[in-house]
Amino acid sequence: MRPTWVTVDLEAVAYNVAVFRDLVVPAEVCAVVKADGYGHGALPVAQAALGAGATWLAVALVEEAAALRGGGIDVPILLLSEPRQEEMAEVVMLGGVRPTVYTEAGIRAFATVADPEAPVHLKVDTGMHRVGVRPAEALTTARLVQDLGLCLEGVFTHCSVADVPDDPLTDRQVRRFDLALDDLASAGIRPAIVHMANTAATVSRPDTRRNLVRVGIGIYGVEPSTEVRPHCAPLGLRQAMAIRSQVTHLQTVGAGEGVGYGHQWVSGDETRLATVPMGYADGLPRRWGLVGEALVGGCRRPLRGVVSMDSLTVEVDDTVALGDEVILLGAQGDEMIGAVEVGEAIGLIPWEVLCSLNARPPRRYL
């Protein structure tokens, strides 16, 4: 078997969830486990999160909710976007899955197949401009939900720039959301659950927490951006994912030798190189090899040449031997390579770094 794998520390996930639980009390924590738990594995992450105090889960797709139900998860699951009309019957069959709604057609489709007083969550678009009703339309839409015999259990919105705490758009989103809630309250509509905060807003904007927070990247121990690092650092979040492999080949090349496709890196002096059996077929961006680093023997060592389909190359020294552990993401000794650092180096956000890893490197759970 190829010596390449991804480890997921479920104790770290549980720790991170407990940190957020204690931070936002009396609000509850909804753990976002869409995209297969951001590449960590949705079911084991969900189990760890619920064991640490999360009370809700959120996913993007009906199939993702079905996979959790199939794994024995029975807590409320929020679908973050409105399902297609033909999916509404499956949503009902899954039991306890809350669809997000924001169109008349979607609401009517769900009401046709759902039991009376089946709960839904109304999405309000306060500035993300992706999905949802405009704030001025919230009351009309909420009334339609009630007129069709459904329960408006929740109302929510999404912060689009909370990873930049000083951006004034978040203030405008809070005002727009509150005005929509005031409109509902004036008509006697007071949903039991109100939520707005994502990870970045949860740590930097207490006014967005309401009575539920949706924490995604934070439960995996990754800060959303360097701008919110001052808010995340005191929490001591633990990165749950590590990308691990081993040295499978060693060689020395002379000065002026190119490495990898296109010879985009050329040695200036005689250089010792280690080959590592992991590549872009595993989800590593090709550019990572030109700007990234790996941990070998507790030391940071530069990658050399673009990442190939099945391998990459690291500059090492004579202390490195065949079979030595190589860390592309995670900790080794006193050194740590974080998802934010990798993302900044290769022009990605940390979500992409985590989610781009596919199922080819197997997951091992700690």
Whether residues 93 and 212 share a domain: the answer is yes
pLDDT of 207 reads 95
- Angle at alpha carbon of residue 6, lines to 16 and 349, rounded to 5°: 65
Q: What is the 3-state secondary structure (H, E, C) of 143-207?
A: HHHHHCCCEEEEEECCCCCCCCCCCCHHHHHHHHHHHHHHHHHHCCCCCCEEECCCHHHHHHCHH
Q: Residue 89 and residue 42: Cα distance in Å, rounded?
A: 23
Whether residues 290 and 319 share a domain: the answer is yes
CATH number at residue 34: 3.20.20.10
Q: What number is the average pLDDT over the span 237-265?
A: 97
The alpha carbon of 344 is separated from its chain's Cα centroid by a whole number of angstroms, namely 17
Is 323 inside a domain boundary? yes
pLDDT of 215 reads 98
Query: What DSSP element (H or E) covers 2?
Result: none
123: annotated active-site residue: no
- Write down the mean pLDDT value for the chain: 97
DSSP code, position 323: T
Q: Which of 15, 34, 38, 220 is catalytic?
A: 34
Whether residues 140 and 42 share a domain: the answer is yes
pLDDT tens track for 63-81: 999 999 999 999 999 999 9
Whether residues 27 and 154 share a domain: the answer is yes
Whether residues 199 and 254 share a domain: the answer is no
Whether residues 194 and 59 share a domain: the answer is yes
Whether residues 212 and 251 share a domain: the answer is no
Question: Of 205, 233, 261, which residue constitutes the final position of a domain?
Answer: 233
Q: Is the pLDDT of residue 1 over 90?
A: no
**What is the domain range of residue 48?**
10-233
Choose among 221, 280, 279: nearest CA to 40.
Answer: 221
pLDDT tens track for 164-211: 999 999 999 999 999 999 999 999 999 999 999 999 999 999 999 999
Q: Residue 50 and residue 248: Cα distance in Å, rounded?
A: 39
Whether 353 and 322 have beta carbons less than 8 Å apart is answered as no
Whether residues 118 and 261 share a domain: the answer is no
Burial of 214 (0-12, 13-18, 19+ CB in 10 A): buried
Rounded to 5 degrees, φ, ψ at 24 are: -100, -5
Q: Report residue 361's pLDDT band, with 50, 70 and 90 as the boundaries.
A: very high
Q: Residue 159 and residue 165: Cα distance in Å, rounded?
A: 11
Q: Residue 164 and residue 230: Cα distance in Å, rounded?
A: 12
Place of tokens 């997951």: 363
Question: Of 198, 233, 268, which residue constitutes the final position of a domain?
Answer: 233
Q: Residue 287 and residue 345: Cα distance in Å, rounded?
A: 9
Q: Which of 15, 102, 261, 365 is catalytic?
A: 261
On the CB side of 265, CA atoms within 13 Å amount to 23
Whether residues 357 and 211 share a domain: the answer is no
Whether residues 58 and 84 share a domain: the answer is yes
The reported pTM is 0.94
What are the helix (H) ranges across the chain?
10-24, 34-38, 42-51, 62-70, 88-94, 104-113, 138-147, 169-186, 199-204, 229-232, 288-291, 339-346, 350-355
Is 357 inside a domain boundary? yes
34: annotated active-site residue: yes
Q: What number is the average pLDDT over the span 128-146?
A: 97
